[in-house]
Amino acid sequence: MEVATTTTIWTDCLEIIKLNVDEQSFNTWFKPIVPVRNENDVLTIQVPSQFFYEWLEENYVPVLKKAVRQVLGENGRLEYSVVVDSGNQQNPPVMVNYPNGHGIKKNIQPLNGNGPSADYSPFAYKALDPRTVNSRLNPNYLFDNFVEGDCNRLARSAGVAVAKKPGTTSFNPLMLYGGVGVGKTHLIQAIGNEIKKNMPDKVVLYVDQNDFTNQFLNALQNLKMQEFQNFYLQVDLLILDDVQFLAGREKTQEIFFNIFNQLHQSGKQIIMTSDCPPRDLKGFQERLLSRFKWGLTADLQEPDFETKLAIINNKMQSDGIEIPKEVAEYLAYSVDTNLRDMEGVLNSLLFHATLLKRNIDLDLAKEVLKNIIKEIQSDVSVDYIQKTVADFFKVGTEQMKGKVKKREIVIPRQTAMYFCKRYTQLTLALIGENFGGRDHSTVIHALESVEDMMKVDSNFKNSVDELTKKFKSRMSA
């Protein structure tokens, strides 16, 4: 009986919480919670780890409080039962109880300190063997095939210096930034490959932000935080690509901050890239940004004509293909988006030449280019969404970021946010950022309003459907 009521109470709370957080957060942070008991208006919920508990306290106290009060009444309170050791067949799990919203976490023993959680980690400390650890490097990205030009000279020579003496130059961290396809990934992987070749006893690790975030969430859900950190702390060269994607991810940043500090202190080399200079990174903790500037920050620019030409010739030569001078020049001149697109064009040319046995001439180059350029332009970006939605509702694009609260402006603005959530990878906070610096709760509100309006206003629903068609056709163009 008791169990059933506790469960229903929690189910009711979940219903309310669901309305207040996005789906991913809901699945990550609320689904794993187990209600344990309800006595005297105190609902106790069990969370899988201390880290989990801290995260909830830091990010979701208002949501939790609201839910508990609505379900249990004004006196309703919440208590956590935190699993600090998941136990095994012989030993029962160890739990610690904390009341909610008391800022109590400062008194909690660190997981690896003394106290009840001292033997928290059920995972033995595993030393990494540099010869067998998977560095996740692409062996094709080397200094040898990285063409030097004015656009990348500083970054490249910093990279060479770091590859010679990782961790001991003042270039730590080495932070490379620049737009899409300027060669950041190629260059930092070249550094990694060089170090692996010359110093086989060093543990080299390349991760992109996706790997890092996923490993982190995975560790969190499976109580392997300690193992996760131990792993990273044994790395001699840590390469983290595209850090801008950590924007707004507070806890991931915090863990990265810890790892960064410890590695840096013990003289390990850190290399990062981002799509803009550190000072322009939004959604980052200040202390982390200031760390990024400790070492050397160098930019890579769009390559000039000569460099592009050299890159084209270099790539075709290494694949054993002759490419007429006029074709190389035509491509260097015409592909003005970025080098990643250039790579697509070159690969496509290779494909035609080798498998379809066609001659590489200007006609073929033009044909290939036409197809690729169409793809390049079919991206659905925030700018594109804002402009398309503004045009559709016949309001100015600048209104998307403006302050006007009139209904005829607010609706297009909210609709554009809604499409950004659907069609871009941006976090809620970053969507808000792109709409004149609004915060993530404003974006959540916008998403809810749009969904509500679609239910009650069929005209509006038609507009959304029509816009959806536009975006879809752009994506598949």
Applying CB under 5 A, the residues found at the interface with Mg ion are: 184-185
First-to-final CA distance of the chain: 58
Shortest reach from residue 198's CB to ligand ADP, in Å: 21
437: region left, alpha or beta (phi > 0 left; psi from -120 to 50 alpha): left
Closest CA to 293 of 264, 321, 315: 264
Shortest reach from residue 320's CB to ligand ADP, in Å: 17
Beta strands, E only, 110-184: 174-177
Shortest reach from residue 385's CB to ligand ADP, in Å: 22
Angle among Cα 193, 195, 200 to the nearest 5 degrees reads 105
What is the spatial order of strands in the sheet that 42-47 belongs to?
34-39, 42-47, 77-85, 94-99
Size of the site for ligand ADP (CB under 6 A): 16
Cα-to-chain-centroid distance, residue 394: 34
Which CB atom, from 145 or from 348, has the smaller least distance to ligand ADP?
145
Which CB atom, from 273 or from 414, has the smaller least distance to Mg ion?
273
Strand, coil or helix: 136: coil
Q: Does 146 bind ligand ADP (CB under 6 A)?
A: yes
Binding mask 182-221 for ligand ADP (x = CB under 6 A): xxxxx-----------------------------------
Contact 184, 300 (CB under 8 A): yes
Which CB atom, from 214 or from 317, has the smaller least distance to ligand ADP?
317
DSSP-H helix ranges across 335-406: 339-355, 362-376, 382-393
Q: Does 147 bind ligand ADP (CB under 6 A)?
A: yes
Which part of the chain contacts ligand ADP (CB under 6 A), choosing from 58-66, 141-149, 431-439, 460-468? 141-149
Contact 43, 76 (CB under 8 A): yes
Q: Which of residues 323-352 bind ligand ADP (CB under 6 A)?
A: 339-340, 343
Token look-up 């209104």 returns 399
| Nearest residue relative to ligand ADP (C-beta) | 183
Shortest reach from residue 281's CB to ligand ADP, in Å: 16
Q: Does 272 bind ligand ADP (CB under 6 A)?
A: no
Residues 359-363: contacts with CB under 8 Å, at least 24 apart? 360/321, 360/322, 360/323, 360/324, 360/327, 361/324, 361/327, 362/324, 362/326, 362/327, 362/330
Which CB atom, from 181 or from 248, has the smaller least distance to Mg ion?
181
Which CB atom, from 270 or from 444, has the smaller least distance to ligand ADP?
270
Which CB atom, from 308 or from 421, has the smaller least distance to Mg ion?
308
Which CB atom, from 379 or from 439, has the smaller least distance to Mg ion?
379
Q: Does 386 bind ligand ADP (CB under 6 A)?
A: no
Interacting residues with ligand ADP (CB under 6 A): 145-147, 152, 178, 180-186, 311, 339-340, 343
